[in-house]
Chains A and B, each alone.
Chain A
Amino acid sequence: MPLVNGGKIADDSFVKLAVDTPLPEGGDILVPAERFVGEADALLKRAGKIGVIWPNNRDISELVPYLGKLAVVALVFPTFRDGRAYSQARLLRERYNYRGELRATGQVLRDQFVFMLRAGFDSFEVKKQADAEAFMQTAKRYSVFYQPTGDGRITALHRRMQLRHSEGVGT
């Protein structure tokens, strides 16, 4: 599956480990939640970057003690209809101030990019090549947003306030 990172199709330096795959000497690894929590101390001492794949039904606050040391948190969309990871993403970004890579995995399609970007995702394992190629165009589809989220975009309510105040100057 193509990875979109920083708005472009990019190489993935991370190798996904299963629960029982032997730990490679070096290199960047993505580890399932269960294994990560079980072996966190050992995994974090290792050379190479580390990320965790976190299921959408596990409390994201469990990750808080490790967030400063994680290079990637990968959240899972088992189907595009299951939106639990949107809430997890916002909690990571807005409540727990996670600043590393936040990756969307699973059934990731172009029609979710805007929602995902607004929830705080910045990298995407996209299911279809054509969707990955359409990323930039799709991500720019909307210029107006009604809700405040941690992505810092100005909302319609506040945009109106700005307009009102700037109009107010001359009158």
Chain B
Amino acid sequence: MYAYDEIDRTLVNERVSEFRDQVQRRLSGELTEDEFKMLRLQNGVYLQLHAYMFRVAIPYGTLASNQLRALAHVARKYDRGYGHFTTRQNIQFNWIKLSDLPDALADLAEVGIHAMQTSGNNMRNVTSDQWAGVAPGEIEDPRIWSELIRQHTTLHPEFSFLPRKFKIAITASDHDRAAIKVHDIGLRLIKNEKGETGFEVLVGGGLGRTPFIGKTIKHFVHGRDLLSYIEAILRVYNQYGRRDNIYKARIKILVHELGIEKFSREVEEEWQHIRHSSLEIDDEVIEDIRSRFIYPAYEKLPHMPDELRQAAADPNFEAWRKNSVASHKNPGYSIVTISLKPIGAPPGDATAEQMDALADLADKYSFGEIRVGHEQNLALPHVAKRDLPALWKALDKLGLATPNVNLITDIIACPGLDYCSLANARSIPIAQELTRRFANHELANLIGRLHINISGCINACGHHHVGHIGILGVEKNGEEVYQITIGGRADENAALGNLIGPGVKFDEVADVVEDIVEAYLALRERPDELFMDTVKRLGVEPFKERVYATR
């Protein structure tokens, strides 16, 4: 956990008081809606289909139990008793009153949570691996650097009015759980031959209507130069990014139009000017941030405690353990993923009661810490293995032990037409129907790792381009039509999916997905050949044939 100090708390409080003043000026008519729009967006407030939506930042996905309780409190007091965890390590509340927002922010500020820059054309919430600091084999805890960037990008005086939004993600593991290749800047923490910490820097990745996989702009930027290098990229983007067309304003378009070589020359030139400046980070500064990350006092515990051995006789426990429990860097401990994808429910939603109860479980079993991942699930990062059976029973009572993590019903979906004013099609009902179709755990288990991603419009909040099966809702002649892609992935081998053919109607989507899955089961070479590997081996064609032969 990272502990805010008086300086951080002061800034958050000053921000709340500024926003209170801005809301008052809007309510009195002193600010026009056009003027207010940018200001509220910078504080995470959108005007949605039915009401204001409030998006709260969970920097690099780390939450303390008291912070989760504060989110539950906001859900209960100012909203309708639930919140929605998103693909960007945020939580959204959908039914909040504008006049309540300053109070909600003030309540969150008490526990060091804010909504700064969760929207708007500025540097967004920094995201990272939800297993940061506990994943085995990790080079170093990437959250130390995420926190450095969080601070540097918060209320940045030069980059708060960029051409468009700007997202940075960091990973420090071989297996990329932060989807760095589909971010404006992706950072991969590495060590050079001298053992010094640095970053491979990728730029220009992103989804939306023009998806790109990020390109490596520099193979090694030393940790001390990280901020100056990011600042150089941002300065080039701020000056030359397109502002004439909102659809061409992201940095990926600038990188694409200039070409990565020319773009990197511009950045390099800018960087040489600012590299050795007050932006250079000395070890002492990093050590100070590191010192404010508090790690649990782990005990020396057995790798296979009796409790776990005994519980293994229960097939329900085993089914859950197999896909929810991951290895921890300390042998007696585990990382437990908590599925927010129960069968038939909107992906990523949690009630206030569930959040409160999870906070209690985190206190009891995970040193008071919770993580939020981009797959819209939560995790308890430090669970002693002997506690797994008890934790499972407690989660089951809360409806939070669905054994489907990484299986076909662990669906990522945007809110779609049910909530979002941008959407052209529904996402949640598609996700709900698919979870019902594949509710049978044996079947889901037989299929193995398979990620379905659903977006209700071209903006791709459900990351459909990088779903193993991607589903994009569009509107055609007043009807919802869904385009299906296969073969996308968001990990270290990130790739964009390929369209399998013409779009299909709303009530055909689940049938089509079933066809694709059946084709895969028939086509795979071995039971352990994963869906994405079969697609890679065979391409789109056999799936296309299976889906469209009878349609």
Contact = CB atoms under 8 A, between A and B. Distances in A.
A115 B35 contact: no
Interface string B8-19: 101100100110
Given A109-B35, A144-B10, A160 B5 contact: yes
B257 interface: no
Interface stretch (A29-37, A46-54, A84-92): A84-92
DSSP class of A's interface residues: helix, strand, loop or mixed?
helix
Contacts of A84: 238-239, 243
B154 interface: yes
A144 B14 contact: yes
Interface string B260-286: 000000000000010001110000110
Contact of A156 (B8, B38, B235, B277): B8
A46 B282 CA distance: 50
A87 B235 contact: yes
A111 B32 CA distance: 13
Contacts of A161: 284-285, 288
Contact of B7 (A87, A114, A119, A144): A144
Contact of A95 (B14, B30, B160, B273): B273
A83 B161 contact: yes
Interface in A96-147: 109, 111, 114-116, 118-119, 130, 141-147
B39 interface: yes
Contacts of B152: 146-147
Contacts of B158: 83, 86-87, 90, 115, 119, 149
Query: Which interface class (under 10, 10 to 19, 20 to 34, 35 or more) fits A?
Result: 20 to 34
Contacts, number: 92
A164 interface: yes
If over half of B's interface residues share one DSSP class (helix, strand or loop), that class is named, otherwise mixed; here it is: helix
Interface in B191-239: 235, 238-239
Interface residues of B, number: 36
A81 B10 contact: no
A111 B25 CA distance: 11
Contacts of A86: 157-161, 238
Given A83-B161, A114-B157, A119-B158, A157 B288 contact: yes
B524 to A, nearest CB: 51
- The 8 A-B pairs with the shortest beta carbon distances in the complex, nearest first, are A83-B161, A118-B157, A148-B278, A144-B11, A115-B157, A146-B151, A86-B158, A156-B7
Interface of B: 5, 7-8, 10-11, 14, 17-18, 22, 30, 35, 38-39, 121, 151-152, 154-162, 235, 238-239, 243, 273, 277-279, 284-285, 288
Interface of A: 80-84, 86-87, 90, 95, 109, 111, 114-116, 118-119, 130, 141-149, 155-157, 159-161, 164
